[in-house]
């Protein structure tokens, strides 16, 4: 009996319409994967951001009428000494906290990268302790340390004959107190960013430079800093954004009237002033105008920092 074998039938290729639909589906699937982020950002980020600009053009009563007044809120803001006082406090606290924080983090990261320490991993992770500590607990401790009558710092100043300083009630003292809190909290996080970037630089590069006669400062300047330049630019921009929006620390150390930080508003930042006008005085239009001004300030200073950093990079 002879068996007849028929050749295997080959599957027909899908029609062009089916292939076209499949190709469109593959291209759209990538957008579907990232769509949740943009939807959430649009609802909780972009819409409130745009709505703030809209509210700033109105005399906005949250439970009453909303009257369009154009740019009157901005005109009032530029003539308000309370706004300029808050802006000056914000810039002062930002400068006192950001510059020392970044420099300290840079030095500490360089030490942790090169020093031969036992339990090195423990020391590297311990710098994150300030970052995970409650801001309220940090404020309580630092207010006690800077206390006029029983604080540790005034006790140390007394040893060299300096009269006690009321840090909370004085302008420069309150700025120094807040800046110290911010710097103590964030320098560990910044240190780990720098350290992670330094770990990617082969040790042979530093060893070769040392053999060629380069000293510690030359290696730091010509190897460490250029290797960290992208991360430095990132931390400068993010520290600028966070430093100009500081809110919690001055609110927690303020005595008497938390939103005004005392009679002379010595530690009232722009975010505290915004909160006071919007949720304290219920002047949502004026508060929104302050928010717009803060946004412009953050963008301008961050852009200047970025341009300066990239200019230094180009010059090198």
Note the pLDDT tens digit of each residue in 105-154.
998 888 888 777 677 777 777 888 888 888 888 888 898 898 888 888 88
- Whole-angstrom distance, CA of residue 163 vs CA of residue 307: 44
Nearest to 260 by CA among 174, 164, 187: 174
Q: Note whether 291 and 86 are within 8 A (CB).
A: no
Q: Which residue has the tokens 């040392």?
A: 210
What pLDDT sits at residue 51?
Answer: 92
Q: Do 242 and 63 form a contact (C-beta atoms < 8 A)?
A: no
**Class of domain 77-315 as given by CATH:** mainly alpha
Q: What is the pLDDT of residues 81-110, one digit of tens each?
A: 999 999 999 999 999 998 899 999 998 888
Listed by start position, the domains of the chain span 18-55, 77-315
pLDDT at 220 > cutoff 60? yes
pLDDT per residue as tens digits for the range 163-191: 888 888 888 888 999 999 999 988 888 99
Cβ atoms of 168 and 177 within 8 Å: the answer is yes
Q: Given the DSSP bridges, would you call strands 58-60 and 66-68 parallel, antiparallel or unpaired?
A: antiparallel
The pTM score is 0.81
């Amino acid at each position: 009996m002879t068996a007849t074998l028929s050749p295997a039938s080959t599957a027909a290729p899908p029609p062009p319409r089916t292939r076209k639909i499949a190709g469109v589906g593959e291209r759209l699937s990538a957008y579907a994967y990232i769509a949740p982020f943009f939807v959430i950002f649009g609802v909780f980020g972009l819409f409130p951001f745009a709505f703030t600009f809209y509210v700033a053009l109105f005399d906005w009563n949250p439970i009453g009428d909303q009257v369009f007044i154009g740019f009157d809120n901005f005109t009032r803001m530029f003539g308000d000494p309370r706004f300029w006082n808050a802006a000056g406090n914000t810039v002062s606290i930002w400068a006192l906290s950001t510059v020392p924080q970044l420099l300290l983090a840079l030095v500490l990261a360089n030490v942790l990268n090169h020093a031969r320490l036992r339990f090195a991993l423990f020391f590297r992770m311990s710098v994150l302790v300030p970052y995970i500590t409650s801001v309220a607990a940090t404020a309580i401790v630092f207010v006690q340390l800077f206390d006029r009558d029983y604080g540790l710092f005034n006790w140390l100043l007394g040893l060299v004959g300096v009269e006690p300083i009321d840090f909370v009630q004085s302008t420069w003292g309150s700025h120094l107190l807040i800046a110290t809190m911010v710097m103590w909290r964030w320098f560990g996080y910044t240190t780990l960013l720098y350290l992670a970037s330094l770990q990617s630089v082969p040790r042979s590069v530093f060893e070769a430079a040392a053999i060629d006669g380069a000293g510690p400062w030359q290696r730091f300047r010509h190897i460490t800093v250029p290797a960290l330049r992208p991360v430095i630019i990132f931390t400068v921009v993010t520290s600028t954004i966070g430093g100009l929006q500081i809110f919690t620390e001055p609110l927690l150390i303020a005595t008497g009237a938390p939103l005004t930080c005392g009679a002379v508003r010595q530690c009232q930042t722009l975010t505290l002033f915004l909160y006071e006008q919007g949720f304290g005085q219920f002047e949502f239009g004026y508060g929104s105008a302050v928010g717009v001004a803060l946004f412009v300030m953050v963008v301008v200073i961050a852009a200047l920092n970025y341009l300066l950093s990239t200019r230094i990079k180009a010059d090198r």
